[in-house]
Amino acid sequence: MSDDIRSIKQRFGIIGNSPELNYALSIAARVAPTNLTVLITGESGVGKEIFSQIIHQYSVRKHGPFIAVNCGAIPEGTIDSELFGHVKGSFTNAVDDRKGYFETVNGGTIFLDEIGEMPLGTQARLLRVLESGEFIRVGSSKVQKTEVRVVAATNVDLHRFIKNGKFREDLYYRLNTVPIKVPALRERKEDIYLLFRKFATDFAEKYRMPAVQLDQGAIDILTNFSWPGNIRELKNVAEQISVLATDKIISAADMLQFLPAVPSNLPMVQPKSDSESTSFSEREIMYKILYDMKNDLNDLKQFVLSMAEANELKTDLHSVQQLFDEQEQRLPAVTDPMHERRPIVIDQPKAYPVDLVEENLSLADKEKELIVKALKKHRGKRKDAALDLGISERTLYRKIKEYELD
C-alpha cells in the first residue's frame, strides 16, 4: 500500500485493506489533480460520497466550494431550477431571481449522486454544461458560463437505463471519462470485522459502555453475511448489538439474532390457492405427470377388464399380463405430489385376453396435453391456468413458446 493511499485512509477515516478498495482509492488519487469528469459506481451504502470528497480535496479546486446533490431527492419539476437557477416570474412562486448550483459552485466541484434518477430534459442541460460550460436559467434566454468539475455517482446499471430510454447514451460517455467502482462489502470480507470493531468502539464511547467483543463463531457469521446494505447496514447492526446485547461477549447464536433476514432472489412458483402453502417446482410437475400416467394405466386396465367381462375380447392371457408389466416397469416409482406424498398402489385385476395398442408415454406430449387442457379450461387465461397446473406464469409462458401453443 502506497503512502498516498495510507494518507487518504487516515484523513478520511477509511477502514480496510482489501485490494479492490485500495485500487479504487488509487484511481481517485491519480485523477484528483486533473479536471476530468468522474463516474463513481457501486451499491447503496458503500461510501461513494467519500470518494467525491477525496477527489475534491486532492484537486486544485480544494479551496473552492463543494456541494453534494442527490438527484433522486429533488422533484422533477424543480430540479432544473435547483441546478441552473431561474428568473423572476418564470413559474409559479418564482418571486425573485435565483442562482443554481452550477452558478454558486463556480470554480469548485459538484457531486451529482443518483445521476440515473435525473430527468431526460435535465440530462440534456447537463450535457451542454459538460461540453461547453454553458447553461441558461429557467425562464431566461441569456447564456451564462461556469467552470465546475462534475463528479457523478450511481447505484444502478446505466447501460440498462440507456437501453430502456431512461438515460442519454452521450451523457453516459461524457460522465464516464474516468470510472471508479467502489466494491461492495461482501467483496471485501477481510475488512468486515475491522469495520465492526471500529463501529463498536465508537458506539461504546458514545454511549459510555464497554465495547462488545465477538467470539470466533460470531466473527465467521459476520464475515460471511451478504450485507445487502453494505457499510451503512453493518454500522446499524454494530449499534444495535452495542446497545441491546446483555452479554458483551457475542456468540454465534447472539449474532444471528441481530442479523436481518435476507430475502431470496430466486423465483418462486405460485401456489394453487391462498390456503395451499406448497409450491411446485418443475421437477415436481414432472412427478405429477408420471403420477397421472400411472392413473391412466390403471384406467386402461379397468377398461380391459370391462371389455373382457362382456366377452368382447379374445387373446392370450399371459401376453396381456406381460404387456401391462412392461408398461409399469417403464415408469419410475413416484408419489402423488398433490396428496401428501402418499405411495401409489395399482390394483392387480384379473387378466383377460385383449388386443392392445401401446399408449404414447412421452413426457413432453403429456406435459403439452396438460397445458392445452388447462388453457382450454380457463379460456386462455394464463394466470389461472398456471395456478391450476401448480407452476409459475413465467414457466407457463416458456412452455407455451417451447411447444408452439400460441
Taking the model in full, what pTM does it have?
0.64
Give residues with Cβ within 8 angstroms of 99, minimum separation 6. 85
- Determine the Cα–Cα distance for residues 103 and 86; give it in Å rounded to an integer: 11
Instruction: Give pairs for 236-242: CB < 8 Å, separation 24+.
Output: 237/196, 238/196, 238/199, 238/200, 238/203, 239/199, 239/203, 241/200, 241/212, 242/199, 242/200, 242/203, 242/204, 242/207, 242/209, 242/211, 242/212
User: Is the pLDDT confidence value at 183 over 80?
Assistant: yes
> If you average pLDDT over residues 12-22, what whole number do you get?
94
Instruction: Output DSSP code: residue 63.
Output: T
Q: List, for residues 76-106, the tens digit of each pLDDT value.
A: 889 999 999 999 988 888 889 999 999 999 9
Tens digit of each residue's pLDDT (9 = 90 or more) over 274-286 = 444 444 445 555 6
Residues 6+ away with beta carbon under 8 Å from 232 = 44, 45
Q: Look at residue 338 in the predicted model and tell me its pLDDT.
A: 44
Residue among 134, 156, 144, 180 at smallest CA distance from 38? 180
- Band the pLDDT of 375: cuts 50, 70, 90: confident
CA distance 156 to 153: 9
Q: Which of 224-228, 249-253, 287-291, 296-300 has the lowest mean pLDDT?
A: 287-291
Give the pLDDT of residue 285: 57
% of residues, the chain, pLDDT over 70: 74
pLDDT for res 305: 56
Torsion of CA 120, 71, 103, 67, to 10 degrees: -150
Is the Cα torsion angle 386, 389, 394, 397 positive or negative in sign?
Answer: negative
DSSP 108: S
Looking at the chain, the whole-number percentage of residues with pLDDT higher than 90 is 59
Domains, the chain, ordered by start: 3-183 (3.40.50.300), 186-258 (1.10.8.60), 282-402 (no CATH)
In the predicted model, is pLDDT for residue 199 greater than 90? yes
pLDDT of residue 102: 97
Residue 138 DSSP SS3: strand
398 pLDDT more than 60? yes
